[in-house]
Each structure stands twice: as structure tokens, then as C-alpha cells.
Amino acid sequence: MAKFARAHLPTLKKTGSYYVLHIVVAALVAYAVTGHLLMSLTLSLLEPTVQAVAFFLHEKAWQRWGRAHPEAALAPAPVQA
């Protein structure tokens, strides 16, 4: 596990900071909608936890795709009229 953490440290740090930000935003929104502190805390921990895992996997998939398709990063964006 330590080897995995060292190998993915930048992405894990980014995921962690995103997780904390998401919890704060989710708690504020949930409280504004429900008016219940306990419900807002529960929702704010559940949804961002799932999102953080999804975000980490999304980042890894994009990194893998970028390594497999380096020409895509260099291709100019298509011009739309």
C-alpha cells in the first residue's frame, strides 16, 4: 500500500483537497435544502466520498489514455465555423 501511495502521491493529494472542498460545499448545500444539521452532515460525507473515489479513477484513466494517445495532446483543436 505504501508503494501505491508513493507512486500516486500527487493524484492522492489533489483528490484529498478536492474531497475536503466537496464536503464543505455539500454540507452547506444540504443544510440550505434540508435545514437539518445531522442530515446535511450525513449527505455531505456520503456523496463526496463516492465522488472522490470516482475522481481518482477518472484521473488515472485520463493519465493512462494520455500515455496511450500522445498524439492527441499535440493535435490542434478543430476549427468550427
| 75 found inside a domain | no
Longest Cα separation, the chain: 52
34, 40 Cβ separation under 8 angstroms: yes
Residue for cell digits 468550427? 80
| 71 found inside a domain | no
| 80 found inside a domain | no
Q: How many domains does the structure of the chain reveal? A: 1
| 46 found inside a domain | yes
The reply to whether the predicted model has a pTM over 0.85 is no
List, for residues 42-78, the tens digit of each pLDDT value.
988 888 788 878 988 999 999 998 888 877 666 566 6
Residue 39 — very low, low, confident or very high, per pLDDT cuts 50/70/90? very high
**What is the extent of the structural domain holding 57?**
7-65
Between 15 and 25, residue with greater pLDDT = 25
